[in-house]
Structure 1
Amino acid sequence: MYYPKIIFAALAVTTAIAHPGPDHPVPHAEIQRRNELAKKCASQAANFNQRRISKRALQKRWEGSGRNVTYEITTGAPHYETIQNDTCVLSPEVTRGPYVWPRSQTLRQDMSEDQPGVPLWLDVGVLDMATCEPLPNVLLDFWHCNATGSYSSFTHLSPNIEFRELLAEKNLTDYAIGVTDLHTDDTTFLRGMWPTDENGVMEIKTIFPAVSQQIMGLEPYVFHTEIDRITNAQDAIYQNGTKGGFNPVVSIVPADGKDISKGMIGYITMGVDTAAIETFEYDH
């Protein structure tokens, strides 16, 4: 089987209200298959994370020594005191919408543009679950709402109205993600793509989306109060993603170790089953 040099993976950071349409539970056999993949690569994932943590620690020691030394780091390692052994096995079956708009995706390492909010550096490691080795040249695709719930390319759709109500207002009954054209403008904020390097890691800068109780107390997040929040316990998409003991959640820590308002680092290790590549096609 032929594999392209760049493998496309999607990491869509969305709010709980952005999950319209039918829920398709993951079959038990598929959950078991992913569980076996994750277990097989558990030790390699731990070693992978340890190398990244050590690299960051080495950089800090050199910076603290006051020496005029340059230490080249392709991407930063996470600020963690303990190794994260769990791996999120990429699940293309999870709902990808509704505010996906491929035309607005831009290749860049800083997708924050002029959006106000708490800085967030996403640190992503990717493992090939067939070999348990870091996977280079994986193009990761990110998109999420801003601090007040709006998505670029859809800024004229109110974030304070539930998505199904928006469809009803437009008399749309046959909505299909990536097919039905709902985009309202050409803005591109908080959308970006960046590949993993030769070590299977990448980092991209954005802002923290309006999905955390701690963050909601800060400006400008505090001004978005018009809509009820859905907890993870109520979110069917989140529940499907965590079945089988998987952890698809990005773990975050304050960038300076203390103050979340000064910025945070989000960390996740993703496993890609290169023996089960799927192709998604969009009309736009």
Structure 2
Amino acid sequence: MLLPRDCSSQVASSSLARRERRGHEKRTFETDVHALTCVVAPEVALGAAEDYTKPVRNGQLKVLASPLNCLCSKLLRQNLREDQRGSLTRPSGLQVTLDIGVVDVTTCEPMPNVMVEVWSPNALGTYGSTFLRGAFTSATNGVAEFQTIYPGRTSNGANHINLMIHTSDSMFGTVSHVGQVFFTDRWNEVVQMTSPYNQNTNPVILNSQDLNYATANSEGYNAVMDIQSIHDDWPEGVIAYITVGVNPQRKVEVPQ
């Protein structure tokens, strides 16, 4: 069996290329966090299929069913920003372009044609059946891009986005990774002062208080997204970069 390698230099080069493609410069709100993957990303618990409209429970380490296992064709998409009535509009919240790179940690090469599945709560911390959910295939550079919004905090979790990696271009392919990616406390604090996030009644939870955050950032992996604001002052939107290290030989059992 092939063992994971240190892919940090390759990930750094890929991350730089993705930023240069967008013509990005550093902005006022950008942090110094760089999402560099050196080992396989740790698995983090997901919500059960029959209960996926509720937040993930911290410390629940068993991998439960994906909410998209019965994915219909309308959810094979990059634009996740439908409203809670199912219309593809701009739901209330800070607009986010989510840039997810997938790297094979046994070769340090990008993984094209894998299915990347994501879902997250709305600004008030509520999950839904289709809104802010979807899946799409990674491009030749191993990147899958989505249009979503900055997620609100849930009743027992810091702001995060859930993801699952299938090592084929099908939702029925082998699942090699499930997990969560996070934002810095600094970004969460700034966003939570704005509408509609300031109407979220869930308690403020720092990353250090979220057990899933600790799991996701273990084993040398950095599960904190690198944020670039589109404009200098308060941004009209942001781009969130993350690179996920996957061992394609690894299989995660996800109940159907």
Contact 1:233 1:239 in 2 (8 A): yes
- The answer for the alignment partner of 2:167 in structure 1 is none
What are the equivalent positions in structure 2 for 1:53-132 lying under 5 Å apart? 53-57=19-23, 84=34, 86-87=36-37, 89-91=39-41, 93-98=43-48, 99=52, 100-102=66-68, 103=70, 106-114=75-83, 115-132=91-108
Instruction: Describe the shift of the 1:209–1:203 C-alpha distance in structure 2 as closer, same or farther (beyond 3 A).
Output: same
SS in 1 for 2:19: helix
- The answer for the alignment partner of 2:192 in structure 1 is 216
1:43: how far off? 1.6
Contact 2:41 2:244 in 1 (8 A): no
SS in 2 for 1:150: coil
Q: Which moved more, 1:144-153 or 1:228-237?
A: 228-237
In 2: Cα distance, 1:269 partner to 1:239 partner? 18
Contact 2:95 2:237 in 1 (8 A): yes
SS in 1 for 2:107: coil
Contact 1:43 1:85 in 2 (8 A): no
- The answer for the alignment partner of 1:255 in structure 2 is 230
Instruction: Flag structure 2 segments of 5+ consecutive residues without an equivalent.
Output: 53-65, 84-90, 153-158, 160-187
1:81: how far off? 10
Q: What's the % identity of the aligned pairs? A: 36
Contact 2:40 2:105 in 1 (8 A): no
In 2: Cα distance, 1:276 partner to 1:136 partner? 17
TM-score w.r.t. the length of structure 1 is 0.60
Contact 1:45 1:87 in 2 (8 A): yes
- The answer for the alignment partner of 2:4 in structure 1 is 37
In 2: Cα distance, 1:235 partner to 1:107 partner? 30
- The answer for the alignment partner of 1:244 in structure 2 is 219
Contact 1:127 1:272 in 2 (8 A): yes
Instruction: Describe the shift of the 1:85–1:265 C-alpha distance in structure 2 as closer, same or farther (beyond 3 A).
Output: closer
What are the equivalent positions in structure 2 for 1:136-151 lying under 5 Å apart? 136-151=112-127
Looking at secondary structure, tell me which structure has more strand per residue.
2
Contact 1:123 1:204 in 2 (8 A): yes
Instruction: Describe the shift of the 1:80–1:54 C-alpha distance in structure 2 as closer, same or farther (beyond 3 A).
Output: farther
SS in 1 for 2:240: strand
1:147: how far off? 0.8
- Partner AA of 1:133 in structure 2: E
The superposition leaves residues 35-76 of structure 1 with CA deviations (integer Å, 9 ceiling, x where unpaired) of x835x212211222232233223xx8xxxxxxxxxxxxxxxx
- The answer for the alignment partner of 1:172 in structure 2 is none
- Partner AA of 1:219 in structure 2: S
Bigger Rg over Cα: 1
**Match status 1:268 vs 2:242:** yes
Looking at secondary structure, tell me which structure has more helix per residue.
1
Contact 1:88 1:248 in 2 (8 A): no
Contact 1:109 1:205 in 2 (8 A): yes
Instruction: Describe the shift of the 1:270–1:257 C-alpha distance in structure 2 as closer, same or farther (beyond 3 A).
Output: farther
- Partner AA of 1:255 in structure 2: I
Report the count of equivalent residues.
Answer: 193
SS in 1 for 2:189: coil
Q: Which moved more, 1:124-133 or 1:88-97?
A: 88-97
- Partner AA of 1:228 in structure 2: P
- The answer for the alignment partner of 1:47 in structure 2 is 13
Instruction: Describe the shift of the 1:126–1:279 C-alpha distance in structure 2 as closer, same or farther (beyond 3 A).
Output: same
- The answer for the alignment partner of 1:235 in structure 2 is 210
TM-score w.r.t. the length of structure 2 is 0.66
**Where in structure 1 do 4 or more consecutive aligned residues deviate above 6 Å?**
79-83
Tell me how large the CA RMSD over aligned residues is. 2.9
- Partner AA of 1:86 in structure 2: L
The superposition leaves residues 225-256 of structure 1 with CA deviations (integer Å, 9 ceiling, x where unpaired) of 2x322221111111122123320112212122
In 1: Cα distance, 2:18 partner to 2:228 partner? 16
In 1: Cα distance, 2:31 partner to 2:205 partner? 31
